[in-house]
Amino acid sequence: MAEMMETTKSKKTTMKIALLILNIILLAIGNCAGPLIMRLYFLHGGKRIWFSSWLETAGCPVILIPITVSYLQRRRSGTTTDHESSTSSQPSNNDDNKLILMRPPVFFASAIIGILTGLDNYLYAYGVARLPVSTSSLIIASQLAFTAAFAFLLVKQKLTSYSLNAVFLLTLGAVVLGLHTNGDRPDNESARQYLVGFLMTIGAAVLYGFVLPLMELTYKRARQEITYALVLEIQMVMCLFATLVCTVGMVVNKDFQAIGKEARAYTLGEGKYYAVVVASALIWQCFFLGAIGVIYCGSSLLSAIIIAVLLPVTEILAVIFYKEKFQAEKGVSLALSLWGFASYFYGEIKNKKKMKKREQLPETEMPIPNP
């Protein structure tokens, strides 16, 4: 019996690691390609900020595919369980047969987070439209520090010396990227527009630094088992409400009427305009799904650290695709970010080994805590 429990626990751990890797890949795709595709929209004639922010979550219907697959798998396994329980007189889990797993408290929490996400999307899109890549990236990277602070306050995240070192190094890497931001205001923008874009991007960093731990708090306070199928439903609700917020903004700003005219005037061509729009919606969906998945498998701080470590990767991709200059500062930032990333994971591995060692100690050999 003990061996079976150990085997089951080992399988669950392996599955969670595999799921974590998958979500890190999704987060990497969205985090690196999202700003680039959004920048492509603005560089070639796109001007609708509410529309651009709307695209960040409007691709959420694609989540219905994995949700449907998950439901069919639950139905199949539930049928098997019902058959086994009928022969063994054991009760089965009725949740497996439900189309929607989410209960009202989780729904309302997800809706509130979705509204905040919609506002954050607008703040971020405004910054990308107004600021150079290096400046906006520098400011957005500061959300790591805000995430660490809010995670400490909301979910009592333990900040070890390794995680603090990672936060310091990744923030320092972002600061290094900003060394060449003096006098980087575009010629076609006024000082007021530049300042508003700067403040909007700071607001986006603070707000998303709050949203990530709030999502983790929702997992912890939910009065039901948090499975990945439920995580997908939470993502769907969040994106729906975020899209609703941006839809209201588009209606007020008359963005829907302007899309056709903007597509015809797009310098890359009307067909490529719509290709950029569709690609933007799908890529940003990878980002949000990856971020929420990493929180589920790890923590909000881990999600923020991965976002920060990918910052210089985005800079390198901007050099490749947009022919931006690769200064020495970007190389230093990349090295600092990788160092911080390695520091965090080294601390996590060391902590897990210490916990495993404590679990294996007999009760008589357990260290006595200090009074």
Question: Residue 234: what pLDDT?
Answer: 93
**Rounded Cα–Cα distance for residues 340 and 69 (Å):** 37
- Residue 361 in domain: no
Question: Residue 57: what pLDDT?
Answer: 95
Q: Tokens 């949740």 correspond to what residue? A: 95
- Whether 323 has a pLDDT exceeding 80, the answer reads no
Each residue's pLDDT tens digit, 263-302: 999 999 999 999 999 999 999 999 999 999 999 998 888 8
Q: Total domain count for the chain?
A: 1
- Residue 5 in domain: no
For residue 179, name the pLDDT band (cuts at 50, 70, 90).
low
- Residue 38 in domain: yes
- Residue 8 in domain: no
Question: Residue 194: what pLDDT?
Answer: 78
User: Residue 144 CB: number of other CB atoms within 10 A?
Assistant: 28
Of 114-123, 160-169, 209-218, the one with minimum mean pLDDT is: 160-169
Of 97-111, 202-216, 236-250, 351-365, the one with minimum mean pLDDT is: 351-365
- Residue 231 in domain: yes
Between 256 and 10, name the one with better pLDDT: 256
Q: Tell me the average pLDDT across 138-166.
A: 82
**Rounded Cα–Cα distance for residues 179 and 169 (Å):** 16
**Rounded Cα–Cα distance for residues 145 and 156 (Å):** 15
- Whether 159 has a pLDDT exceeding 50, the answer reads yes
**Rounded Cα–Cα distance for residues 270 and 262 (Å):** 9
Per the structure, the complete domain to which residue 44 belongs is given by 18-72+100-355
Q: Tokens 């700071």 correspond to what residue? A: 202
Between 273 and 228, name the one with better pLDDT: 273
- Whether 112 has a pLDDT exceeding 80, the answer reads yes
- Whether 18 has a pLDDT exceeding 50, the answer reads yes
- Residue 90 in domain: no
Q: Are 235 and 292 in contact (CB under 8 A)?
A: yes
- Residue 11 in domain: no
Query: How many residues does the structure list for the chain?
Result: 371
User: Residue 26 CB: number of other CB atoms within 10 A?
Assistant: 20
Query: CA of 79: how far to CAs of 82, 99, 101, 104, 106, in Å?
Result: 5, 14, 17, 26, 27
- Residue 123 in domain: yes
